Amino acid sequence: MTITFFIIVLILIGIALLALSIGILLKRGFPETHIGRNRHMRARGINCANTTDADDRKNYKAVEIKEEKNETFHPRG
């Protein structure tokens, strides 16, 4: 009884894997999951982290920090 059930399950899993592989072959490969090459993500204006970082580096403007002199407190005395 257990062996028969196991064989039936293996046959069903084999049929499912065969159907999935045929579906992938008919659609000409896997869907593109990389954000930078996915046209739907590009259409929404979403970029990958590397592209965003490169754009930020191009548009970088240094911030000038002004130090204030405080003459009332000196740590040594």
Q: In angstroms, rounded to a whole number, what is the distance separating the alpha carbons of residues 20 and 72? A: 77
Digit-by-digit pLDDT tens for the chain (77 residues) are 889 999 999 999 999 999 988 888 887 777 667 777 778 888 888 888 888 888 889 988 888 888 776 666 656 65
Which pLDDT score is estimated for 65?
81
Instruction: Tell me which amino acid residue 57 is.
Output: R
Which pLDDT score is estimated for 75?
65
Which pLDDT score is estimated for 66?
81
Which pLDDT score is estimated for 16?
96
Q: In angstroms, rounded to a whole number, what is the distance separating the alpha carbons of residues 9 and 12? A: 5
